[in-house]
């Protein structure tokens, strides 16, 4: 009986696969989603300036997880980085032309990485040092941004002579962001800690970066289905990768547990027997099958063709404006339903129950599930 429910859903899944695999920058389901870089020039120096750089995640359901973001740009002239606080350049480059004080980086196209929270306080500024992780504002507004300070030399020393860097790129685990050219905007204003004084940057420019799926994109997660009535539909074979033919490649030391689907994350939707009429109850289980990755701050976006009145007592959730069906964002509650540490840590699974109202007898399962912003592979459904 349950198998007959899948015929109309197969058509929708085919449509959604096309819709959500759009190439190019940006997410068709989150058109305004982006990561914005803001450079605030706070002071001029004898040979350049000191700037405060802010990185803010304005995506509704896509995060940046460990090992975090890497920011790169190309200098307009022969600028150097004298120092950074709250982040550091990966490479010094050729600084042989300098005598005495040595710049932190002389690279024409430097790459900056975030610091972790355990660095000395002298290397930190407010808002820094989160290991490159950027959550969504729904999860935690304070953890959706990152900041660092940079002192630039061999640069302009006034608004008329300074030249903005170009060719910004933001690289994250499993993908990258295409960034706009820098644009001068209204100088940022800052409120003093005692809230009695407002200061502003000497100059501000902004860069907007949008996620770009990598070439040969493979989903990092898959969805399986089951029910109390005995329905069992596993993740598709080779859903994320194919199982190595060499058994030695599946040794316990390999990052991802050997399965037929070879996905780092699997998500099971289990239809509970107490579902009646138009109300559906599910137990959702998320399993981290990666021995090295930590997904404690996971977030799901659940897309459903006709669901209404979504609810969950075990997680945080938020409804987004519907596009091709309802869109619900779900994320874990600290010390309760977060879980998803590395495989073998004893906390690699998160479980929670959800319910929604839909059409009686139809549309039991979601049409698409996104894990940390990436669309999971749907299971092969019976015809």
Q: Is 315 helix (H, G, I), strand (E, B) or coil?
A: coil
Residues 9 and 81 in one domain: no
Put simply, whether the predicted model's pTM sits higher than 0.75 gets the answer yes
Q: Are residues 10 and 100 in the same domain?
A: no
Per-residue pLDDT of the chain (383 residues; tens, 9 = 90+): 444 333 333 343 443 443 444 444 668 888 899 999 999 999 999 999 999 999 999 999 999 999 999 999 999 999 999 999 999 999 999 999 999 899 999 999 999 999 999 999 999 999 999 999 999 999 999 999 999 999 999 999 999 999 999 999 999 998 899 999 999 999 999 998 888 999 999 999 999 999 988 788 889 999 999 999 888 999 999 999 998 877 666 766 779 999 999 999 999 999 898 877 778 888 999 999 999 999 989 999 988 776 667 777 678 888 887 665 678 899 988 766 667 889 988 889 999 888 887 665 555 566 789 999 999 999 886 65
Residues 242, 351, single domain; the answer is: yes
Q: Same domain, yes or no, for 206 and 234? A: no
Phi, psi of 19 (to 5 degrees): -65, -40
- Same domain flag for 120 and 168: yes
Separation CA 324–CA 367 (nearest Å): 10
**Has residue 29 been placed in a domain?**
no
Tokens of 78: 């022969």
Q: What phi, psi does 51 have (nearest 5°)?
A: -125, 150
Tokens representing residue 81 in the block: 């980085």
Same domain, 204 and 229: no
Assign residue 256 the CATH number of its domain. 2.60.40.290
CB 326 within 8 A of CB 310: yes
């Amino acid at each position: 009986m349950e198998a007959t429910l899948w015929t109309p859903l197969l058509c929708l899944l085919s449509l959604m696969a096309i819709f959500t695999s759009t190439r190019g920058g940006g997410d068709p389901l989150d058109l305004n989603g982006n990561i914005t870089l803001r450079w605030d020039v706070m002071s001029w120096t004898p040979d350049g300036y000191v700037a405060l750089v802010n990185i803010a995640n304005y995506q509704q359901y896509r995060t940046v997880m460990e090992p975090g973001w890497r920011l790169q740009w190309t200098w307009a002239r022969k600028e150097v980085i004298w120092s950074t606080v709250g982040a550091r350049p990966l490479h010094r480059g050729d600084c042989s032309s300098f005598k005495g004080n040595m710049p932190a980086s002389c690279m024409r196209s430097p790459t900056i990485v975030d610091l972790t929270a355990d660095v000395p306080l002298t290397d930190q500024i407010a808002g820094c040092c989160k290991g490159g992780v950027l959550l969504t504002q729904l999860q935690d507004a304070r953890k959706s941004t990152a900041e660092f300070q940079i002192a630039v030399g061999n640069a302009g020393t006034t608004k008329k002579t300074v030249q903005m860097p170009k060719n910004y790129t933001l690289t994250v685990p499993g993908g990258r962001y295409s960034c706009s050219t820098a644009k001068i905007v209204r100088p940022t204003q800052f409120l003093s800690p005692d809230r009695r004084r407002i200061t502003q940057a000497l100059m501000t420019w902004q860069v907007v970066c949008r996620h770009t799926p990598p070439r040969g994109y493979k989903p990092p997660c898959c969805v399986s289905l089951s029910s109390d009535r005995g329905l069992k539909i596993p993740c598709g074979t080779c859903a994320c990768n194919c199982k190595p033919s060499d058994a030695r490649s599946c040794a316990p030391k390999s990052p991802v547990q050997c399965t037929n689907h070879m996905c780092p994350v699997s998500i099971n939707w289990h239809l509970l027997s107490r579902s009646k009429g138009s109300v559906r109850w599910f137990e959702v289980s998320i399993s981290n099958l990666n021995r090295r990755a930590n997904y404690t701050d996971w977030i799901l976006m659940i897309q459903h063709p006709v669901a209404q009145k979504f609810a969950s007592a075990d997680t945080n959730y938020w409804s987004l404006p519907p596009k091709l069906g309802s869109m619900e964002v779900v994320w874990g509650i600290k010390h309760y339903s977060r879980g998803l540490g590395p495989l073998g840590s004893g906390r690699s699974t998160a479980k929670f129950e959800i319910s929604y109202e839909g059409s009686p007898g139809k549309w039991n399962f979601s049409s698409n599930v996104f894990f940390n912003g990436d669309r999971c592979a749907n299971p092969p459904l019976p015809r």
